[in-house]
């Protein structure tokens, strides 16, 4: 289920942003793509952790999710001046539409998609994501994914990761970037 949205010509695309649900491989794929394309790799969660000196789990626990979302918006705004950067984003970041609009000004936005079953397979052995500290994490994934789907589908390109290795996904993302820039 890969697809593309037509692009407006008033965008200055010099970066690549990866959006998508937790466990779709944004960080792993992002690092591979950045290496392949000689782009700098940035991760919005890491930027928040560096800026605050705290973990994401700690911010959620002490200050709550809305405070974390405000920090995300600040980081997105600061990315606007960058070039040749691969931006890996937190899974909830595109649900605030101005974040998506801001990224689209300077980046090709690629969504990594996965089914709830595949996401569960990938995250079930990890424990650092506060939103999945839930009595029924599988239901939480299904529900959150359903709510977020309309936001994720506003990406320029959607790449299904279910049946692809991270290397294949990275190859596809880099290809889509070159394709988008050569067809403007």
Binding site for ligand S3P (CB under 6 A): 22, 26, 45, 56, 90-92, 129-131
Q: How far apart are CB 63 and ligand S3P at their closest, in Å?
A: 13
Task: Tell how strand 3-4 and strand 157-160 pair up.
Answer: antiparallel
Residue the block writes with tokens 């405000």: 70
If the CB atoms of residues 84 and 133 are measured against ligand S3P, the closer one turns out to be: 133
Q: Which two tokens stand for residue 11?
A: 């965008």
CB of 59 to ligand S3P, least distance (A): 9
Q: Shortest gap between Cβ of 69 and ligand S3P (angstroms)?
A: 9
Cβ closest to ligand S3P, residue 83 vs residue 143: 143
Query: Smallest distance from the beta carbon of 74 to ligand S3P, in angstroms?
Result: 14
Dihedral sign (CA 55, 61, 103, 1): positive
Which CB atom, from 11 or from 52, has the smaller least distance to ligand S3P? 52
DSSP letters of 66-126?
HHHHHHHHHHHHHGGG--SEEEE--TTGGGSHHHHHHHHHHEEEEEEE--HHHHHHHHTT-
Q: State which residue, 130 or 137, has the beta carbon closest to ligand S3P.
A: 130
């Amino acid at each position: 289920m890969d697809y593309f949205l037509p692009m407006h010509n008033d965008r200055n695309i010099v970066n690549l942003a990866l959006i998508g649900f937790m466990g779709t491989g944004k960080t792993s794929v992002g690092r591979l793509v950045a290496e392949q394309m000689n782009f700098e790799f940035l991760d919005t969660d890491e930027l928040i952790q560096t800026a605050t000196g705290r973990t994401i789990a700690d911010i959620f626990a002490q200050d709550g999710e809305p405070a974390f979302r405000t920090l995300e918006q600040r980081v997105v705004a600061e990315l606007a001046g960058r070039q040749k950067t691969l931006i890996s984003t937190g899974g909830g970041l595109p649900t605030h539409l101005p974040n998506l609009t801001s990224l689209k000004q300077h980046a090709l936005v690629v969504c990594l998609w996965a089914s709830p079953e595949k996401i569960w397979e990938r995250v079930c052995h990890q424990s650092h994501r506060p939103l999945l500290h839930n009595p029924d994490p599988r239901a939480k994934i299904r529900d959150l994914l359903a709510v977020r789907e309309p936001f994720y589908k506003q990406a320029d390109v959607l790449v299904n990761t279910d049946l692809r290795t991270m290397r294949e996904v990275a190859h596809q993302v880099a290809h889509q970037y070159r394709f988008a820039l050569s067809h403007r």
